[in-house]
Amino acid sequence: MTRYGFIGLGIMGSAMAANLARAGFDLTVWNRTPGRGAELEGLGATVAASARQVVADSDITFAMLADPAAARAVCDGDAGVLAAMAPGKGYVDMSTVDPATALAIEEQVTRRGGAFLEAPVSGSRKPAEEGSLIILAAGNRDLYDRSLPALERLGKKIMHLGPTGNGARMKLVVNMVMGQMMAGLCEGMALAGASGLGVPDLLEVLDAGALANPMFRLKGGLIQRGDFTTSFPLKHMQKDLRLALALGEQSGQPLFAAAATNELFKRALALGLGTADFSALASAVDGFRRP
């Protein structure tokens, strides 16, 4: 039986690891902040003392970390991932990072004889809990095939996009579009309210036509109620926009709308909204009026 590890038990990682534990996988978990593994232990997972122990006790280790700095940091040191990496072991990094970070981690893993796969996901808390994420994998094809039994418990659509770096690129493009959609929704709701229109009427019109989509349908109602319970932290969206802009710079592709959206998210950060849901961007839009 394949032994699995999971590193990173935040909003996304805890839900994903729970799905693996409930499915009966042999699972060892660890989080940088102590205490996050208690629920998973109750589901049958083993809580490790370090990232190194997770990798030592697992054939394939998954990681879901906040940003490139965290993804790199968990690999380093005597208690890190690389300290236990060895031939036959696989490391699947599901964090949202830039392509350079994914390639750097791959180089370190393969230098020690391990196999590397990047597999960032599209989706937030609810899809993570439901096992309905979209998984954007790239890199070692053999490890992809070996990881599929677990990945199929985590996602409703799993794609292999080619060499390492393509998963990161795809995730940044997707989140760049999503951030701009959220900015458009918040400004549209603000303008509707400021001009005397009913915001519920706007949402009904949007949902009836070509602009209908699950995000508007869910977040529009929550924004109206001022409910910014965190499914995807605003600070992470701003991080992804920043990384997308850097990818645009590297690729020679102007990103005018994304740059403006990033400035709006930066304003929201300055207002102290970083740990709220990214829909809290509405609070940074001038003139926004809650009904």
Q: At what angle do helices 11-22 and 141-154 cross, to 10 degrees?
A: 90
User: What is the token pair recorded at 276?
Assistant: 């709220």
Residues noted as catalytic: 171
Q: How far apart are CA 170 and CA 161, in angstroms?
A: 9
Q: Which of 74, 75, 55, 52 is nearest to 3 (CA)?
A: 55
List, in sequence order, every residue forming a beta bridge with 277; answer none if it has no partner.
Answer: 233
List, in sequence order, every residue forming a beta bridge with 46; answer none if it has no partner.
Answer: 28
Helix (H/G/I), strand (E/B), else coil: 232:
coil
Q: How far apart are CA 137 and CA 35, in angstroms?
A: 30
3-state helix, strand, coil in the chain (%, to 5): 55, 15, 30
Q: How far apart are CA 241 and CA 247, in angstroms?
A: 10
Q: How far apart are CA 157 and CA 122, in angstroms?
A: 10
Q: Which amino acid is at 58?
A: S
